[in-house]
Each structure stands twice: as structure tokens, then as C-alpha cells.
Amino acid sequence: MGFCPSCRMEYIPEVKECPDCHEKLVESLPEIELPDMEWTALPSVPGVVYAQMIKEALEQNGIPSYVQSLWLSGGLGVVTSTSMPGVSAKIMVPKADYKRALEIQEGMVDHM
């Protein structure tokens, strides 16, 4: 299996490039090192692309975050595109920053 180093999605061996990020797939991903704090999820957004945009805005505002993809597999075991119906993602933020992070997310989602 191959993994995208950008969005961290997994693909069957025949896929060599992430169809969303256009990154060359790698054989394994390093573990994500998370600070020792309590994390909570913001409301789900429709796809990893939106989640990555919101994550970037959060980090520009000093709020650490990471994206948890809620993907589905297609008929051949290929992970479906982030733009396919039913694919969503959650953004995890420190519990202490939840209210401020939610305001940022809601402001962005209203314009998407």
C-alpha cells in the first residue's frame, strides 16, 4: 500500500500518486507527534481539502490542530476522492481553544 505524505490517505499498490494532492506516494508515514493535551473535534466538514484549509487558518491564529479523515473505500479498495459525496473530515483542536477554533471554522464554512 502507498500513502500520501501530504493528506496521509492510503491507496492500493497500483496507485503511485495521490489524485488529490498530486504527491508521489511513500511506503510508510511517520507517526504524528501530538502535544500532551486534551483534544476535541470541531464539527465535521465535507472533505479533507476543506479541513486542510481550516487547519491552515487555525494554525495562522496560533491554534494547533490535526485532521482526522473519515473516508470511505471504493469498490476496488481505492480510497474515494475528497470531493466525493459522503466523505468528510474532522479537525481536532485542543479543548482549551475549541470556542475560538469553532468561530474560525464557522466563519470559513459560511463562505465555502
Q: Could you tell me which residues come within 8 angstroms of residue 91 by beta carbon, excluding any fewer than 6 positions away?
A: 41, 42, 45, 51, 54, 55, 58, 65, 66, 67, 68, 101, 105
Q: Which residue ranges make up each domain of the chain? A: 38-109
pLDDT digits (tens, 9 = 90+) for 13-34: 888 998 888 889 999 888 777 6
pLDDT digits (tens, 9 = 90+) for 29-45: 887 776 678 999 999 88
Question: What's the predicted TM-score (pTM) here?
Answer: 0.59
- CATH tag, 38-109: 3.30.70
Poorest-confidence range of 4-8, 51-55, 73-77, 103-107? 73-77
